[in-house]
A and B are shown apart, each in its own frame.
Chain A
Amino acid sequence: MKLVTSEPIDLNLLMSAAHHPEAGAVVLFSGEARNHAHGKQVQYLEYEAHETLAEIMILEIIETAKQKWDLKFVSCVHRIGKVGISEPAVCVLTASAHRKEAYTANQYIIHRVKHEVPIWKNEVFEDGTHMWGGNCSCTNPEKHEEFVE
């Protein structure tokens, strides 16, 4: 499966692949399109990416996570194109023997994907306006969060 895809993300399909006999914990994070932002009603989200570079970077982040934690399964998929309200825009799955590693690795991956990978969100509002990168810590310091293990 492509890591950056214009196809809808099938959470059940991804979850079914994450089970592992040595894993006592499977964590699934699904980042989904919210119907409000910046005091406005959101109609839908639209993502674009430098696709080849984004794929390479997500793979590198996954490899780094595998070196840092003993993960039995790991996967990350990000959607591009139009994403409707309540649909998954990004998902991260991690599985490990115990829950702490799976939770921590999952947060590490989504943190780096959001802040480093060349993917951009465009929030399209019900009032006909739109906003690129409204959650970006680079242009909005209040949104900046350090990843702490």
Chain B
Amino acid sequence: MKIKTFAVLKEHLGEEFEMQSVVNIEQLKQALLHRNPKVAALLPSCRFAVEQAFINKETVFQGNETIYIIPPSSGG
């Protein structure tokens, strides 16, 4: 699946990359931590979305979707 990140996450993880063998948010978080431990403080505040809808910890990934990692908002 494709992973897209924003803002400070982009600097820590890269803006867009492929990731295999993760089936839910918890596994994805572990994989992201492994990719760069600097995201540890930020990950608990992140939301996750597929296309235009937020997903939750029960969501099972299909493997061909794009997952957006949404760090805490800071608009305005």
Contact = CB atoms under 8 A, between A and B. Distances in A.
A132 B75 contact: no
B72 A78 contact: no
Interface in B42-76: 42, 45, 47, 49, 51-52, 68, 70-76
| Band of interface residues on A | 20 to 34
A120 B76 contact: no
Contacts of B47: 118
A138 B75 contact: no
Given A50-B6, A132-B8, A113 B74 contact: no
B52 A120 contact: no
B7 A48 contact: yes
A90 B74 CA distance: 12
B72 A136 contact: yes
A47 interface: yes
Nearest to B11: A132
A118 B5 CA distance: 11
A115 interface: yes
B49 A120 contact: no
Contact of A52 (B6, B45, B52, B76): B52
Interface string A112-131: 01111111111000000000
A120 B45 contact: no
Given A50-B70, A56-B52, A133-B71, A122 B7 contact: yes
Contacts of A118: 6, 47, 49, 70, 73
A135 interface: yes
Name which of A31, A120, A135 has the most chain B CB atoms within 10 A of its CB. A120
A48 B47 CA distance: 16
A116 B76 contact: no
A53 interface: yes
9 contacts: A47-B75, A49-B6, A89-B75, A116-B73, A118-B47, A120-B73, A120-B74, A135-B76, A139-B41
